[in-house]
Structure 1
């Protein structure tokens, strides 16, 4: 440790690391972006220079061997999440891994065999954003009445055959890339686990990945989450939490702009066409900085990490069930 700061090592020069996570770590209260590793050393040196990172390595193994590095951020393609995370933990590092943690629940479960003195978590930055925290507080307060329905939509358009999101062999597709956010919303706001799921998937005929996935998740006691995600529709995202008294709308629930204010909207339905909307502004923040601090404080022993490997396994069990439902054409219980 560098005093009370966690020294981070970043694997690869992936766009999300360069543009989102590294700036977030640098803006955090607990973290230092201390090193970056790429299989292309020149590329690592260039990114390190551009972003003010002290060390650059030409292999992941060199980064893991650095005794000054406390934590690793792993944004590699989905099929590399588990093996590289395991390698880092076995080298004594804590690991924050991009979502989804694995390609299946069984693969994610192999992480349970790793040393227990190192922290491992999925990088769901939305759970650290004040707008999600505030929205859950509103749900808990009872202002919505009984929360029974959550609806989510998340889409973008990307038809590049070389993009990892369109590579079935790398764990691409809409459900793995962005559906994991919409289904997580049910777990987060209902504070419960789904009992069963049913889904419909349309696959790209060339890529083999799911380009449109819709699902319904039954949380019991009359609670339902429905969502649609797509990699080949116009960019859009929205989350609706609908209770017996009011509706809460999160305008930019997933890609909240870094350093900008966002808005929640409450509506009691007394006027049609959103005429009764009551907006609430959430102060500007960087959800990646918030995530780095959430994980960093757990490493420093200041907070308990709420979401670990077991949580990631549960996420994968739900994703597995959604895929299975589309294949079988029926409801599937979540194991």
Structure 2
């Protein structure tokens, strides 16, 4: 791997995801350095800067963007602000890593039309930076086990904080925006295709956010995906993929262990009464470190996993169809598929 000066990062927002995951990943990476952080509350920005050894703290997001030494920004704001600040960051000449979901609707990405094509702008799905995710997609693409035909996933946790921004529908709250964007992306990633249509069922609470969402995705050619996401049940995270000649399981699919090996399990038995499992083992991983490292490498022109705005728009198109289906009770076409 080529050596280069670490990319100098600015952070917009003092959110928990920045404090507990992304900034520590930057600190741990040899290819990234958190240089500046901005928050609406200067005191909060200063406290987080002191905690993580960040040199500059600002009382606004605009000040981070005006800092000439900041090369890339990570947007850790509520969902409804993502595209607005991504545009402002791009206009300031910064590369942009947008916390997921990058936008609440596919049409929102029109605000990024015409940005400098030299800038790297990506939706922050850290799971795609796991070496085992990358390896599994390579295995599926090889055809060694035949075509992958079905994908299924569960992703849930119990949300207990009544003040959480995910409680607010106008801010992009709810299970789908928080979790379903992951599962939809995972189905697209592993089936290596875009869905043609979706069917969705949502159960909303009194505040108007979806607490349970179940989705079927039709990819055509006999390929289907299904998933369920929830903010109102016990923690779960699973991915299972069935190929023509193998059943693949990804334990701890979305939040891998940072202390124990992470696994891919491939069962090629043709008999329900038996198993013939091959286990592939991967080292313990900080996937946020991997995310900022690979994005920084892409900024420097290195060969690294990178997903552009076209991928983000495709995932948002699925989101649009999911909400349309839940509203109509029928199938909804995925626009652009």
Q: TM-score, normalised by structure 1?
A: 0.95
SS at 1:108's partner residue?
Answer: helix
Equivalent position of 1:248 in the other structure: 248
Equivalent position of 1:232 in the other structure: 232
How big is each residue's C-alpha offset from its partner over 1:169-196, in whole Å with a ceiling of 9 and x where there is no partner? 1001111111011111121111111111
Equivalent position of 1:39 in the other structure: 40
Are the aligned partners of 1:155 and 1:234 in contact in 2 as well (CA < 8 Å)? yes
Equivalent position of 1:203 in the other structure: 204
Equivalent position of 2:18 in the other structure: 17
Are the aligned partners of 1:161 and 1:167 in contact in 2 as well (CA < 8 Å)? no
Note the C-alpha offset of 1:135. Answer: 1.1
**Structure 1 residues 189, 305: CA separation in 2 closer, same or farther (over 3 Å shift)?**
closer
Instruction: For 1:51 and 1:273, locate their aligned partners in 2 and report how far apart those are by CA, in whole Å.
Output: 53
Are the aligned partners of 2:9 and 2:70 in contact in 1 as well (CA < 8 Å)? yes
Matched, 1:90 2:91: yes
Equivalences, count: 333
SS at 2:253's partner residue?
Answer: coil
**Structure 1 residues 259, 91: CA separation in 2 closer, same or farther (over 3 Å shift)?**
farther
Matched, 1:193 2:194: yes
Instruction: For 1:112 and 1:324, locate their aligned partners in 2 and report how far apart those are by CA, in whole Å.
Output: 25
Note the C-alpha offset of 1:326. Answer: 1.1
Are the aligned partners of 1:198 and 1:216 in contact in 2 as well (CA < 8 Å)? yes
How big is each residue's C-alpha offset from its partner over 1:3-54, in whole Å with a ceiling of 9 and x where there is no partner? 6210001112111111111111122231111111111111111111111111
**Structure 1 residues 229, 301: CA separation in 2 closer, same or farther (over 3 Å shift)?**
same
**Structure 1 residues 4, 329: CA separation in 2 closer, same or farther (over 3 Å shift)?**
same
Q: Which runs of 5+ in 2 are unaligned?
A: none
Matched, 1:280 2:286: no
Instruction: For 1:124 and 1:255, locate their aligned partners in 2 and report how far apart those are by CA, in whole Å.
Output: 12
Q: Which runs of 5+ in 1 are unaligned?
A: none
Are the aligned partners of 2:294 and 2:306 in contact in 1 as well (CA < 8 Å)? no
Matched, 1:27 2:28: yes
More moved, 241-250 vs 261-270: 261-270
Are the aligned partners of 1:144 and 1:248 in contact in 2 as well (CA < 8 Å)? no
- Listed as ranges, the matches of 1:259-270 within 5 Å are 260-270=260-270
SS at 2:212's partner residue?
Answer: strand
Note the C-alpha offset of 1:162. Answer: 1.3
Are the aligned partners of 1:8 and 1:71 in contact in 2 as well (CA < 8 Å)? yes
SS at 2:200's partner residue?
Answer: strand
Q: TM-score, normalised by structure 2?
A: 0.94
Note the C-alpha offset of 1:271. Answer: 5.8
How big is each residue's C-alpha offset from its partner over 1:97-130, in whole Å with a ceiling of 9 and x where there is no partner? 0011111011122212323232211001111111
Equivalent position of 1:103 in the other structure: 104
- Listed as ranges, the matches of 1:51-200 within 5 Å are 51-200=52-201
How big is each residue's C-alpha offset from its partner over 1:300-326, in whole Å with a ceiling of 9 and x where there is no partner? 112377411121111111000011011
Instruction: For 2:260 and 2:5, locate their aligned partners in 1 and report how far apart those are by CA, in whole Å.
Output: 27
How big is each residue's C-alpha offset from its partner over 1:236-293, in whole Å with a ceiling of 9 and x where there is no partner? 0100011121111001111223464211111124565774433221112221111112
Instruction: For 2:262 and 2:207, locate their aligned partners in 1 and report how far apart those are by CA, in whole Å.
Output: 35
SS at 2:283's partner residue?
Answer: strand
Are the aligned partners of 2:4 and 2:31 in contact in 1 as well (CA < 8 Å)? no
Note the C-alpha offset of 1:145. Answer: 2.2
- Listed as ranges, the matches of 1:287-326 within 5 Å are 287-303=287-303, 306-326=306-326
Are the aligned partners of 2:149 and 2:222 in contact in 1 as well (CA < 8 Å)? yes
